[in-house]
Amino acid sequence: MDYAPIASIICAAFAVSFGAIGPALAEGRAVAAAMEAIARQPEAANTISRTLFVGLAMIETTAIYCLVIALLLLFANPMLA
Amino acid sequence: MNSPLEATVLLHLGPVPITQAIVTTWAIMIVLVLGAVALTRRLGDIPSRRQAALELMVAALDTQIVETTEADPAPYRGFVGTLFLFILVANWSSLIPGIEPPTARLETDAALAALVFASVIWFGVRGNGVGGYLKSFAAPNPVMIPLNILQSLTRVFSMFVRLFGNVMSGVFVVGIVASLAGLLIPIPLMALDLLTGLVQAYIFAVLAMVFITSTVADGKRAKPAADPSPVSTKKGP
């Protein structure tokens, strides 16, 4: 029995699931902080939300890396070739 | 299911394989160029309705550039604006049935990121000369040189993986849901993709802008420290 495909599928699932935890917590904190800042200073909402979007994209990149690793495991795995 | 990392080759032009992404990219380029030519014909001092709409868009672009970087938008408007428009149209081209956005392929995003990498060098050299650009690597102090060189590569890499991952995952999820649940079910996800596509295009353009202006500003800051004589002559009586 060949264990390489099974192992890579399980590892891909683990990479995405655990890789999503960190960015989820971080994005939650970032949005909460931005909400608080907008509540205190509604006139700065434009600047804050723009910075928030860029920051969220930065944070999201870590999850995207995990997704790319999972896709590499599934579709471009040298062990399965 | 098709691998998102492999390209579908439609035909071969001699030794060059023509993929679906290349055809879509050229179609988008033709649409953008023809649209720009058609919109900018017969510009006058008294704006017509079409010209007023166009000026509104360019003014909005300028405002964004000034607000994010506080730099003069004139040298960067063309590059950053084209980058934004192309990525936006490419991301939203998934709305046309049967068309996969070219930004959901690694090679398109890698090409865009390589453009940003080259333009950072180009604008850095044009702003401060070759010496000024090289000095921008020693920006806070010379200890940071290896880190700055590494950063100039990794930030471009992370840019293209971010764009690829976001757009590709959107296309992928819509494909999976459509194959599992049926034809009309993924419509809310496609609406979410529209938002993601807009935000990603905006972020790509903003990050390109920030990288370019920070390099130019670092080079400018490095200049007076390297050559203090003009400052001292001005202090005379």
Tokens of B228: 């203090």
Partners of A68 on chain B (C-beta within 8 Å) are: 161, 164-165
pLDDT value at B224 more than 80: no
pLDDT at B2: 67
Per DSSP, the three-state class of B11 is strand
pLDDT value at B229 more than 60: no
Partners of B110 on chain A (C-beta within 8 Å) are: none
What mean pLDDT is predicted for residues A2-25? 91
Calculate the dihedral angle through the C-alpha atoms of B152, B90, B28, B174, rounding to the nearest 10 degrees: 140
Say if A68 is an interface residue toward chain B (CB within 8 Å).
Answer: yes
Residues in a beta bridge with B184 = none
pLDDT value at B93 more than 50: yes
pLDDT value at B235 more than 50: no
- pTM for this predicted structure: 0.84
Rounded CA-CA distance B136/B217 in Å is: 8
Residues in a beta bridge with B13 = B16
Say if B67 is an interface residue toward chain A (CB within 8 Å).
Answer: yes
* Interface ipTM: 0.78
B206 CA to centre of own chain: 8
pLDDT at A35: 94
pLDDT value at B219 more than 80: no
Q: How many CA atoms lie within 13 A of A29 on its CB side?
A: 7
pLDDT at B222: 62
Percent with pLDDT over 70 in chain B = 92
Distance from CA of B4 to the nearest CA of A (A): 8
pLDDT value at B3 more than 90: no
Mutate to test the interface with A, among B84, B156, B169, B210 (most CBs of A within 10 A): B169
Partners of B207 on chain A (C-beta within 8 Å) are: 54
What mean pLDDT is predicted for residues B85-108? 89
CB atoms within 10 A of CB B100: 20
Per-residue pLDDT band for A25 (boundaries 50, 70, 90) equals very high
> Measured between CB atoms, which of B3, B166, B206 is closest to A64?
B166
pLDDT at B1: 57
In chain A, how long is the greatest CA-to-CA distance?
Answer: 64
Rounded CA-CA distance A58/A26 in Å is: 11
pLDDT tens track for A36-48: 999 999 998 888 8
> Residues B156, A34, A68, B204: is their CA dihedral positive or negative?
negative
pLDDT value at B232 more than 70: no
Say if A76 is an interface residue toward chain B (CB within 8 Å).
Answer: yes
- Asked if B5's CB is within 8 angstroms of A61's CB, the reply is no
